[in-house]
Structure 1
Amino acid sequence: MTSSRQFTDADRALFGNRFLTAEVPTKTFPESGMSAVEAMRLVGEDIALEGDPARNLATFVTTWMEPEAQRIIAENLHRNFIDHAEYPRTAEIEQRCIRMLADLFHAPGETTGARTQGSSEAIMLGGLSLKWNWRKRRKAEGGSTESPNLVFGGDVHVVWEKFCRYFDVEPRIVPLQPGKYTIGPEDVEPHVDENTIGVAAVLGTTFTGHKDDIGGINDLLLRIKSERGIDVPLHVDGASGGFVWPFLYPDTAWDFRLEQVRSINVSGHKFGLVYPGIGWLVFRETADLNHDLVFEENYLGKTDATFTLNFSTGSAMVLAQYYNLVRYGRAGYTYIMQNMQANAQLLAEKLQAMGQFELIGDGDEQLPLVAFQLAEKHSYDEFDIAWQLSAERGWMVPAYTLPPDAQDVTIMRALVKETMSREHVDTLARDIEEACKTLEAKGGAHESERQQIITGPGH
């Protein structure tokens, strides 16, 4: 015979968490609170149901930092970045980071920029400066400012389409094609006219990890300026590649070495190796930032200039970025990027050796990742493999279709980050092979299983 004791709140406080058996707050504002330990355990138990960040090969966002960096972050979570009057050293550290990135991107002289929540905000701000500068040029020429347009490829992040919709700019999107997943000058030229505020080119797409032909697009824009008198600036979306190409492909000119490149965004929380969210916008010259977008205010007791879509935000990730820049330097970032590239190449070799996968853009300059697809038809597809890896092995490897006009192409992508060791690569390769064998034996995933498949390229 079993006994059932009625436990009191005192018992629960002594022996465990009352939410082990009670329903957690989910809909209504709680009438009463709980102890700090209970609240901590409640949140921790919820998060424990999520995936392991170390096995998340979909996200580009940093999932590990050194203990010393984590300490800096923890000690500065309370520091509001926008309070420049009260925290002037933090503001100075932001400017140090901007100057260091401008140097990394070969800015020819004095420049300016901004820290942002990520590349999405940086792109919004960069796009606004393109629009404002275009409008200024058109007014000086006596032309209309009614119909601005922006040219970019279907390989961009969705934020570029958001910018166009939010700020009333016509998006001129170059569609992709099967087997061609980036854009070049021949794609851009038909779309450029006197109302083009700029061209956006991608350095390291989220879909396959490759770059647009930025050098070729720059040459096209120089020719258009010479022959037609239309000065169209080039913005480089280096969200992922801005912290990769300088270290893996230092001789490739994609940055301010190219005359028409006027602004660059980069995500510190991707290959800048900082936790989310931190991004950067860097201009070629101070004149490339339209001054009408800069606000001067003395809300906090000191006149200060702000160029941001946000206001209050934490200082911790700015300080963490500066920590990484001085901690690693060029030599350290090169070491880390080359290690990631070596493991990506190893994974690619292992996938190719299985005989059933085709690599996407193998041998081209690429982010440290492997983009691949099934080489021929099977009883299962890439989405089935993604589900099998997630359900049976805990790996988050996305499967997704590409943007128009390559929407019939399905690929997978495994991002190889700093924490992915040689042993992880070996294990992942074995798990992919075993997943294929399992799917072959059972004829693919069941429809109910397919609903759980991880899709989307990840960010």
Structure 2
Amino acid sequence: MSCPQAASRASAPPTTTARAPGALPSKGWTASAAANAVRIKLREDISPAANLATFLTSTVEPEAERLFSDYLPYNLIDRDQYPGATELERHCVQTLAGLWNADLSTAVGTATTGSSEAALLAGTSLLRRWRHRGDTAGRKPNLVLGANAHVCWHKFCRYWEVEPRIAPAQQDLLHLSAQQARERCDEDTIGVVSVLGSTIDGSYEPVAGIAAALDELAAETGVDVPIHVDAASGGFVAPFLDPELNWDFRLPRVHSINASGHKYGMVPAGLGWILWRDPEARTNWLSFDTNYLGSTRANHELSFSRSAAPVVLQYYNFLRLGFDGFRDLHARSRATATSLAASLDEMGPFRILGDGSDLPVVVLSQRDGRHRWTLRELADHLGTHGWSVPVYALPPDRQQTDVIRIVVRNELTTGHAEDLLSAVRGYLSGAIATPA
């Protein structure tokens, strides 16, 4: 059904009167003129498929695009009006619970707006669990994490006034170790965040080793510290490629896990997931009952209204790919990443810090010695060939080291990888020199 006012506005020509930046035009434009103006504003943006900086899904099938468009107006929080969308969310939570080896009869979870909301929910649960002990008045809670932890965890600590106890990066270890985790825990530690798939180098942290160290701490001191696994990327990779890896709810000390559907879950940006092993781990403190959308419903999320479309696509992907499809897709990405890392290593001037053997991510720095070129100059050169690659400094204890990160997603074929390598070789042939 069309709106008469909208039809009238659509027929109006674009205004030509000069106006202050950001001011609304006096009359609306036609739909085609407005769309064209938007495209002109965005024409300098790189194609997402060529953006090797991002973990986010950048291409989907035409059928998925149509589903996303069809269900974009559906509000996931309106559970009485859209019970089918609620059922798809429940099914996705159960699927993830199975992939992460949870007890299907007790696991609880929800869709979130990315892993950042999921992390804030997880941190809140950990904080409330600590406060429920009853002897915490006047004491300062702390959270243990590695220097590679996502900024969302630093946001949680600042917003909720929790002390972040950050294990520094080491020369050959850019993530949290079991010993570092244990050393930083005490009776005021609300939890340890272990990262399954670091954005810095693509590595998995040793979740089982950290759990074992905390088991020893509990046996020796009585200090009982739960683990949250930030599996933003690895949660959709490890179950398919590393089924023998013990990192999930098989470990009793793991209380909660989050993952990003919009990364290796193959859904466009805007979808995260969080699961707790049982309602006690989530704590009822997160629950708010609302009745103004129909029947009384419990809401556990930080956000409220949001589109059901990402959840619809997650369910679609589970059906479309199945276990074998996810495994084959991610296996191809890992094979491309490890091959790319090996080829870059053979060139000589690069030190490989992430070889794609965990997450399909390649991270490299320059080998020791003086060079007449920098990684930033190399990245600029790759930009002229259509590739966007990030250059960034490692965490503070290694901040003198710049690195390039290449995130391999399913869009990056072996042919694309060879084109990228050819561009790197072309740059080095003209820029590399004997170290001074």
TM-score, length-normalised on structure 2?
A: 0.93
> Residue type of the partner of 1:118?
G
**2:122 alignment counterpart:** 126
**1:422 alignment counterpart:** 414
Other structure's SS at 1:162 match: helix
Other structure's SS at 2:398 match: coil
**Percent identical residues:** 40
Residue 383 (1) aligns with residue 376 (2): yes
Kindly report which structure 2 residues correspond to 1:24-43, keeping only aligned pairs within 5 A, or say none: 26-43=21-38
Structure 1: which 5+ runs fail to align?
1-12, 444-459
Q: For 2:218 and 2:75, how far apart are their aligned partners in 1? A: 44
Q: For 2:347 and 2:99, how far apart are their aligned partners in 1? A: 40
The alignment of Structure 1 onto Structure 2 pairs a total of residues equal to 422
> Residue type of the partner of 1:431?
A
**1:316 alignment counterpart:** 309
Other structure's SS at 1:263 match: strand
Q: Is the 8 A contact 2:237 2:264 kept in 1?
A: yes
**1:412 alignment counterpart:** 404
**1:89 alignment counterpart:** 84
Q: For 1:251 and 1:22, how far apart are their aligned partners in 2? A: 66
Q: For 2:391 and 2:240, how far apart are their aligned partners in 1? A: 28
Call closer, same or farther: CA 1:440–1:143 in 2, change over 3 Å.
closer
Call closer, same or farther: CA 1:149–1:37 in 2, change over 3 Å.
same
**1:73 alignment counterpart:** 68
Residue 348 (1) aligns with residue 341 (2): yes
Residue 106 (1) aligns with residue 98 (2): no
TM superposition shift of 1:67: 1.0
**1:320-375 Cα shifts (integer Å, max 9, x gaps):** 01101121111110000001011112211221222221211448x42012111222
**1:243-269 Cα shifts (integer Å, max 9, x gaps):** 011111111101111110110000000
Q: For 1:24 and 1:311, how far apart are their aligned partners in 2? A: 36
TM superposition shift of 1:439: 3.6
Call closer, same or farther: CA 1:125–1:143 in 2, change over 3 Å.
closer
Q: Is the 8 A contact 1:343 1:422 kept in 2?
A: yes
Call closer, same or farther: CA 1:24–1:43 in 2, change over 3 Å.
farther
**1:176 alignment counterpart:** 169
Other structure's SS at 1:331 match: helix
Q: Is the 8 A contact 1:135 1:145 kept in 2?
A: no
**2:113 alignment counterpart:** 117
Q: For 1:343 and 1:23, how far apart are their aligned partners in 2? A: 52
> Residue type of the partner of 2:118?
A
> Residue type of the partner of 2:199?
T
Q: Is the 8 A contact 2:355 2:361 kept in 1?
A: no
Residue 399 (1) aligns with residue 391 (2): yes
**1:413-446 Cα shifts (integer Å, max 9, x gaps):** 11111011111011000001112234449x9xxx
TM superposition shift of 1:384: 1.3
2:43 to 23, 45, 48: 48
Other structure's SS at 1:197 match: strand
Other structure's SS at 2:69 match: helix
**1:172-199 Cα shifts (integer Å, max 9, x gaps):** 1111122210111111122111111000
TM superposition shift of 1:23: 7.5
Other structure's SS at 1:384 match: helix
TM superposition shift of 1:403: 0.7
Call closer, same or farther: CA 1:166–1:356 in 2, change over 3 Å.
same
> Residue type of the partner of 2:271?
I
Other structure's SS at 2:190 match: strand
Q: Is the 8 A contact 1:384 1:439 kept in 2?
A: no
TM-score, length-normalised on structure 1?
A: 0.88
> Residue type of the partner of 1:237?
D
> Residue type of the partner of 1:314?
S
> Residue type of the partner of 1:278?
L
Q: For 2:306 and 2:18, how far apart are their aligned partners in 1? A: 34
TM superposition shift of 1:145: 5.8
Q: Is the 8 A contact 1:182 1:213 kept in 2?
A: no
TM superposition shift of 1:29: 2.3
**1:357 alignment counterpart:** 350
**2:211 alignment counterpart:** 218
The worse-fitting range, judged by mean Cα deviation, of 49-58 and 375-384 is: 375-384
TM superposition shift of 1:95: 0.8
Q: For 1:207 and 1:268, how far apart are their aligned partners in 2? A: 19
**1:291 alignment counterpart:** 284
Q: For 1:160 and 1:222, how far apart are their aligned partners in 2? A: 24
Q: Is the 8 A contact 1:340 1:417 kept in 2?
A: yes
TM superposition shift of 1:143: 4.6
**2:180 alignment counterpart:** 187
**1:367 alignment counterpart:** 359
> Residue type of the partner of 1:122?
A
Q: Is the 8 A contact 2:345 2:351 kept in 1?
A: yes
Q: For 1:162 and 1:398, how far apart are their aligned partners in 2? A: 23
Q: For 1:183 and 1:203, how far apart are their aligned partners in 2? A: 11
Q: For 1:325 and 1:75, how far apart are their aligned partners in 2? A: 19
**1:23-80 Cα shifts (integer Å, max 9, x gaps):** 8984222222111110011111222221111110000000011111111101011111
Q: Is the 8 A contact 1:177 1:404 kept in 2?
A: no
Q: Is the 8 A contact 2:167 2:180 kept in 1?
A: yes
Other structure's SS at 2:120 match: helix
Q: For 2:203 and 2:283, how far apart are their aligned partners in 1? A: 31
TM superposition shift of 1:283: 0.7
Q: For 2:321 and 2:100, how far apart are their aligned partners in 1? A: 17
Q: For 2:274 and 2:124, how far apart are their aligned partners in 1? A: 12
**1:448 alignment counterpart:** none
